[in-house]
Amino acid sequence: MKNIPYKILILIVSFTIILLCAKGVFKKDYGYDIEQPSNREEILLANSDFDYPVNKTINGVDYLQSQLPVGKFGGDYTDTIIGEVKTFNPYNANDATSAQLSEIMYDGLTQTNVLTGKVVPKLAKSFEIKDKKTYIVHLRKGIKWSDGVEITSKDVYYTYNTIIFKGFGDGSARDVIKIDDKLPTVEIIDKYTVKFTTPKPFAPFIRNLSASIMPEHIFKQATDKGNQYFLTFQGVDVNPDELVTSGAFRLKSYVPSQRIIFEKNPNYYLINKENKHLPYLDRLIYLISSDTNNQTLKFESGETDVLSINGNLLDRYRELKKHSDFDLYNMGTSTDTTFVVFNLNNRKNKEGKYYVNPIKQSWFQDKNFRSAIDWAIDRQNLVLNIFSGLASPLYSAESLNSLFLNKKVAKGHKKDLNYAYSLLQKSGFYKKDGILYDKKGNKVEFELLTNAGNTQREAAGVSIKQDLEQLGMKINFKAIDFNSLVNKTVNSLDFDCIIIALTSNILEPNSGYNVWTINGALHLFNKRTANDLKGSDKIYPFEKELEEIFKKGAVELDFNKRKKIYDKYQEIISEQNPLVYLYAPINISAIRTKFKNIYPSKLGGLIYDLAQVYKDD
């Protein structure tokens, strides 16, 4: 969450005025710059008061010990989510809500240190890297699943060799661990030791070992029945007692359209300095909200404890803070990348029908058409009107705080309708009576969708509709249920254009492997599915180029060489515009002052680990 390398003059002025007015309001400003020392993994410390957990063995059990101040046990923490959860199975979670809730329940072998950006052990006690291709992972001895069964190397082997390597669920976990289309191998050394071997040196491998480890004694029944069954396994109708987890909290109850409640896992392996089992909190409560306005109302009425604040509400919350019980934190620029994605799909399904109307298909496949839309969108207007200047225009596939950001691409361009229309004319489009036609005389009309309840995206959709109507296009903008939107995007492929967002990993571009490679599970602009009619596929030249770039970048270990490789992929996206990027807001968060051990960071967000947070009424 971070610096803004590009601002036009009006944004500089407005943003500066707002921040000067807000001086002294924030608990702490975390919008600092990222340093890039020699080893490229040392990140500026988020908070000097934060001490990272350390290993501690007690009576033969390898615990992780919190180094934060000892707190009080008990109490609830209440937050909101927009829309319904789709699954409690992390390997079926292809929406942000389901993925967020899965992370509460399941841990991986490694995690990223929020202070330095380095990879550190989690379920693992330690790991060794040999000959740049061999990874020896030593598990914590004696730690248990929530049902009391010990976590061992058999669970790790099963998770990787079966769930991930065989592509169960949405397949994203397999995408990001491939090297030149080859998978690593995993073998059991002993009860607490596993060995991974990659086909060649693979820069992001150890960071990718953060994937959730699943209990073999629970999940084997599902994988034995095949992927179709697995896709329904531990869905929203699951009995909470059947969920066996490794994380700090486990599911207590789920009431559709109302709330999701998690309770503390009594077998969690994190302890405090007094060697007492964490988490401190008894319950996490997530209220299901219809939209961001409803989230705001719940926070202001005292129903919830935390809120992400839109820039246009900053002045209001500055005033409320004077007489209320919360702190404000400036978290810097968001790592979310919001964009318009075009459906470039040229295939037919098994029924012989095109996913996209062939007339629209010809428009979306036209580089000049996509580029014209890029030049017609007024990003500065989005920033000023939606976020009151507390955002930055976004032109790059990498977030503005990425270590791999191509700054030349990030500079972008101002809105230019004349240039946009000239691009359309190159492809035979023309205006008549203010209406845009293609070279065959078809009126240019298509649908633009986003998820209902996200007021920022809804406002962006209205603004973009108005921008494109200046080119003579007719845009049918709709906000629909989020789960329906996700289904259209990744399953049915029944859409024209969509406003949506993905989260960027500021330390590792290869996390986008499943977005930019041809068969990636999140290759949204031209996604392949099992329902495609064989022989109907067309691969665009720039898709092949992206594929090669990501294969090359993954095996290059030198940072400077990797930087040049990933600079090129950002240039391609900027030139081809299969996704047109829009904005990067500043994250401003409010949290009740009664919650302690709050140490926000660029990498960890407002709350790095809920297991270490306590409530001090």
Handedness of CA 216, 217, 222, 226 (dihedral sign): positive
Please, are residues 552 and 565 in contact by the beta-carbon 8 Å criterion? yes
pLDDT digits (tens, 9 = 90+) for 120-152: 999 999 999 998 899 999 999 999 999 999 999
Is residue 484, in this structure, part of any structural domain at all? yes
Is residue 39, in this structure, part of any structural domain at all? no
Domain stops at, among 183, 199, 230: 230
213 and 350 together in one domain: no
What are φ and ψ of residue 580, in 5° steps?
-110, 115
The H-or-E segment that residue 21 falls in is helix 9-21
363 and 215 together in one domain: no
Those residues whose C-beta lies under 8 Å from the C-beta of residue 334, and which sit 6 or more positions away, are 1, 399, 584, 585, 586, 587
pLDDT along the chain (617 residues), means of 10: 30 31 40 29 44 92 96 97 90 86 94 85 94 95 98 98 93 85 95 96 91 97 96 94 96 95 97 97 95 91 93 86 89 90 91 91 97 98 93 95 94 97 98 97 98 92 98 97 86 93 90 92 90 84 96 92 97 98 92 93 83 94
| pLDDT at residue 313, rounded to an integer | 85
The alpha carbon torsion through 65, 67, 71, 77 (nearest 10 deg) reads: -80
Is residue 246, in this structure, part of any structural domain at all? no
Q: Report the CATH number at residue 370.
A: 3.10.105.10
Indicate the average pLDDT of the chain.
89
Domain stops at, among 181, 213, 230: 230
| pLDDT at residue 17, rounded to an integer | 29
Is residue 317, in this structure, part of any structural domain at all? no
Max CA pair span of the chain: 82
Please, are residues 194 and 125 in contact by the beta-carbon 8 Å criterion? no
Those residues whose C-beta lies under 8 Å from the C-beta of residue 43, and which sit 6 or more positions away, are 34, 35, 115, 116, 117, 507, 602, 603
348 and 491 together in one domain: yes
Return d(Cα 585, Cα 600) in angstroms, integer: 17
| pLDDT at residue 361, rounded to an integer | 93
pLDDT digits (tens, 9 = 90+) for 48-75: 567 889 999 999 999 999 999 999 999 9
Task: Indicate the pTM of the whole model.
Answer: 0.83
Nearest-CA neighbor of 349 among 496, 529, 533, 494? 533
What is the distance, to the nearest Å, from the Cα of residue 493 to the centroid of all Cα atoms in its chain? Answer: 21
DSSP bridge pairs for 287: 80, 259
DSSP structural state of residue 160: I
Q: What is the rounded end-to-end Cα distance, in angstroms, of the chain?
A: 30
| pLDDT at residue 114, rounded to an integer | 81
pLDDT digits (tens, 9 = 90+) for 71-120: 999 999 999 998 889 999 999 987 888 888 988 999 999 998 887 788 99
| pLDDT at residue 7, rounded to an integer | 30
Structure tokens at 95: 């929406």
DSSP bridge pairs for 443: 437
Is residue 17, in this structure, part of any structural domain at all? no
393 and 542 together in one domain: yes
| pLDDT at residue 107, rounded to an integer | 97
Domain stops at, among 191, 208, 230: 230
351 and 216 together in one domain: no
Q: Report the CATH number at residue 223.
A: 3.90.76.10
Nearest-CA neighbor of 212 among 81, 317, 107, 328? 107
Return d(Cα 594, Cα 557) in angstroms, integer: 45
The structural domain count of the chain equals 2
Is residue 413, in this structure, part of any structural domain at all? yes
Domain residue limits at 490: 336-585
- C-alpha to C-alpha distances, 320 to 7, 295, 590, 616, nearest whole angstrom: 30, 16, 11, 21
Is residue 195, in this structure, part of any structural domain at all? yes
396 and 542 together in one domain: yes
| pLDDT at residue 49, rounded to an integer | 66
224 and 356 together in one domain: no
Is residue 148, in this structure, part of any structural domain at all? yes
Please, are residues 388 and 312 in contact by the beta-carbon 8 Å criterion? yes
226 and 347 together in one domain: no
| pLDDT at residue 48, rounded to an integer | 53
